[in-house]
Amino acid sequence: MKLYIGSDHGGYNLKQKIKEVFTPMGYEFEDVGTDSTESCDYPVFASKLCEKVLAEPDGKGILVCGTGIGMSIAANKFKGIRASHCTDTFAARMTREHNNSNVLCLGERITGQDLAIDIVEIWLKTPFSNGERHLRRLDEIKAIEDRQSDK
Ligand code: RB5
């Protein structure tokens, strides 16, 4: 499975750890940057990643910053992105089953490495439930996006 991954300086070390753990499991990462812990701006990398995720029918990506919050705010500005900032495994499972989340956001300064790895694993392995009520709610989100782009 191909995945996009990106971070700012605050999420760089956790991003490296995620690639180190999941690459041997068969996941292929395209890293959109940043490439060091030198200070940079998270919206730049959220944008690069979201454009790539949206260019594929079932694209998925992981964004890491210090808190996971800035990345999720920036990513959710993109029509079609359902970015979920998760700090526990229950949220990671639910956001795949119910929200069909296509971008996972993590905070390196909030979530310890081992827990973050568990969150990624559950988020990657949990399918969307395809339930009628969840599809209806996702359609309602699409309708919000459409109303916003008319403005
Ligand atoms: C960078 O210091 C920090 O603001 C950033 O990584 C992120 O936490 C923003 O939400």
* Closest C-alpha to ligand 1, atom 3: 66
Tokens read off for 7: 């971070």
The reported pTM is 0.98
* Closest C-alpha to ligand 1, atom 4: 66
Average pLDDT of the segment spanning 123-150: 96
pLDDT confidence bin for 151, thresholds 50/70/90: confident
**Active-site position among 9, 50, 65, 105:** 65
Tokens read off for 26: 């068969």
Residue with tokens 């909030």: 110
Distance 11 CA to ligand 1 centre (A): 8
Run of H or E including 114:
helix 113-125
Tokens read off for 55: 């260019």
Instruction: Give per-residue pLDDT as tens, 107-132.
Output: 999 999 999 999 999 999 999 999 99
CA distances from 83 to 1, 23, 38, 61, 108 (A): 19, 22, 25, 9, 16
* Structural domains in the chain, sorted by start: 2-149 (3.40.1400.10)
Distance 138 CA to ligand 1 centre (A): 28
For 38, counting Cβ atoms within 10 Å of its Cβ (0-12 exposed, 13-18 middle, 19+ buried), the class is exposed
26: left (phi over 0), alpha (psi -120 to 50) or beta: left
Beta bridge partners of 63: 6, 105
